[in-house]
């Protein structure tokens, strides 16, 4: 029956949501809290759909009927009014230079200069922790308290380091927006001191030779995926960063020279890195080649060979072997090698160059990726031999 303004105004809330129906699909929904909203029920392509027409009393009975009639005219021509509304919102967001639109523009321009893992982590922070609250807002209208509220949601779950990194990433977007004329200033600078400092993070590692021996034997005895088992056995021999290991590609392997050349784009320090491969490392790689050698990655994902294994695969395998996150991590193989190689008396420069660490001393920084390569080649073979001796109890 036709709805009147008096009938709508006097509609009382009930325990559950209910609807007052008018003709041609128009309904008034009354929520248990007393809210009243207009909705249109319609069919298109033989499917039932609902679309909101606004809230009462902002939208009167007369206004709701006019909106219903406009929507039904679109439906009569085979056009879904819901799709039209989404397109209009997207167009408005584009015109408004929202935070998400500017962030996407910034990300597209700079992601090629980052490692794939860094790009993935950065974008996940935006999608998970920023866009749901700030993504649709015009970037020039966002205030520092709004950004702080968003960051404190991250802080509240104990992820202090992630909170700081998110502020840093948002600051990069705001500075890009200022330079591009989308915003007037970088409001992230107002958040200095608003979040507690993060505690220094140490990657758990086993560095006692007596404990390393059973760890190595456990890696050899891993009963899961053969691909993961190869990654576990190779990790302590090459001690690269976990992201560099899982992104290893067959095209980077030089079997004749027994070398793995990691492109600068994959390295944290943006410099090509050479990993001399010991006889033990080559044996693992050659054993793996028949299984994954026809694809790009040495260690592909179980779901698709077009992507590498996930960043948590090695750590999950260590947990399966009984090592907690406080005992050992995939990154911990680097600490293991660094500590013991220094204790074994190898030259510090060889070790640091093989770890691909940033060099703080400007004079010492004047090296290239092949520096100390003959010495490092011998060191890597000696290291693999040393681990073999530990493994058999010598």
Return the residue matching tokens 């899982």.
246
Q: How many helices (H) and strands (E) does the chain have?
A: 16, 7
Reply yes or no on whether 56 is catalytic.
no
Residue 219 Cα to chain centre, angstroms: 28
Return the biggest CA–CA distance within the chain. Answer: 92
The neighbour count for residue 210, using CB atoms within 10 Å, is 9
Reply yes or no on whether 241 is catalytic.
yes
Reply yes or no on whether 203 is catalytic.
no
Q: Are 167 and 189 in contact (CB under 8 A)?
A: no
CB-based contacts of 176: which residues, under 8 Å, 6+ apart? 102, 105, 106, 109
The whole-angstrom separation of Cα 152 and Cα 139 is: 19
Selected catalytic residue, list 67, 331, 353, 376? 331
Q: Are 184 and 140 in contact (CB under 8 A)?
A: yes
Residue 172 Cα to chain centre, angstroms: 17
Selected catalytic residue, list 19, 305, 325, 357? 357
The whole-angstrom separation of Cα 47 and Cα 79 is: 13
Residue 112 Cα to chain centre, angstroms: 15
Selected catalytic residue, list 36, 68, 241, 266? 241
DSSP 331: T
Half-sphere exposure of 349 (CA within 13 A, CB side): 14
Compute the C-alpha angle 58/61/67, nearest 5°: 80
Selected catalytic residue, list 334, 353, 376, 377? 334
Residue 151 burial (C-beta neighbours within 10 Å; 0-12, 13-18, 19+): buried
Reply yes or no on whether 77 is catalytic.
no
Compute the C-alpha angle 52/53/55, nearest 5°: 95
Selected catalytic residue, list 165, 268, 319, 391? 268
Residue 33 burial (C-beta neighbours within 10 Å; 0-12, 13-18, 19+): exposed
The whole-angstrom separation of Cα 57 and Cα 6 is: 11
The whole-angstrom separation of Cα 191 and Cα 194 is: 5
Active site residues: 241, 268, 331, 334, 357, 367
């Amino acid at each position: 029956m036709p709805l009147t303004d008096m009938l709508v105004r006097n509609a009382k809330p009930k325990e559950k949501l209910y609807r007052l129906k008018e003709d041609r699909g128009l309904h008034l929904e009354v929520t248990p809290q007393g809210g009243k909203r207009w909705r249109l029920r319609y069919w298109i392509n033989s499917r039932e759909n609902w679309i909101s027409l606004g809230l009462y009393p902002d939208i009167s009975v007369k206004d709701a009927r006019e909106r219903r009639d406009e929507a039904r005219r679109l439906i009569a021509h085979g056009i879904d009014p819901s799709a039209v509304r989404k397109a209009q919102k997207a167009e408005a967001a584009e015109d408004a230079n929202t935070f998400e639109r500017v962030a996407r523009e910034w990300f597209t321009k700079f992601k090629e200069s980052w490692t794939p893992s860094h790009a993935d982590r950065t974008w996940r922070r935006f999608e998970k922790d920023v866009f749901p609250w700030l993504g649709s807002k015009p970037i020039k209208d966002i205030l520092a308290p709004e950004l702080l509220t968003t960051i404190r949601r991250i802080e509240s779950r104990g992820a202090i380091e992630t909170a700081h990194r998110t502020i840093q990433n948002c600051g990069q977007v705001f500075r890009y927006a200022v330079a591009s004329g989308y915003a007037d200033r970088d409001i992230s600078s107002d958040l200095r001191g608003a979040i507690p400092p993060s505690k220094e993070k140490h990657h758990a590692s086993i560095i006692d030779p007596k404990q390393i021996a059973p760890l190595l034997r456990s890696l050899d005895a891993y009963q899961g995926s053969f691909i993961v088992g190869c990654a576990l056995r190779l990790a302590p021999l090459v001690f690269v960063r976990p992201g560099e290991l899982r992104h290893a590609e067959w095209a980077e392997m030089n079997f004749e020279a027994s070398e793995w050349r990691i492109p600068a784009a994959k390295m944290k320090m943006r410099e090509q890195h050479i990993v001399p491969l010991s006889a033990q490392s080559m044996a693992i790689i050659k054993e793996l080649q028949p299984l994954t050698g026809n694809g790009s990655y040495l260690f592909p994902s179980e779901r698709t060979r077009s992507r590498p294994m996930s960043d948590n695969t090695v750590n999950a395998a260590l947990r399966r072997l009984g090592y907690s996150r406080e005992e050992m991590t995939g990154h911990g193989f680097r600490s293991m090698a660094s500590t013991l190689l220094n204790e074994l008396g190898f030259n510090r420069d060889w070790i640091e160059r093989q770890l691909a660490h940033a060099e703080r001393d400007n004079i010492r920084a004047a090296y290239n990726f092949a520096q100390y390569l003959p010495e490092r080649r011998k060191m890597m073979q000696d290291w693999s031999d040393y681990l073999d001796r530990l493994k058999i109890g010598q």
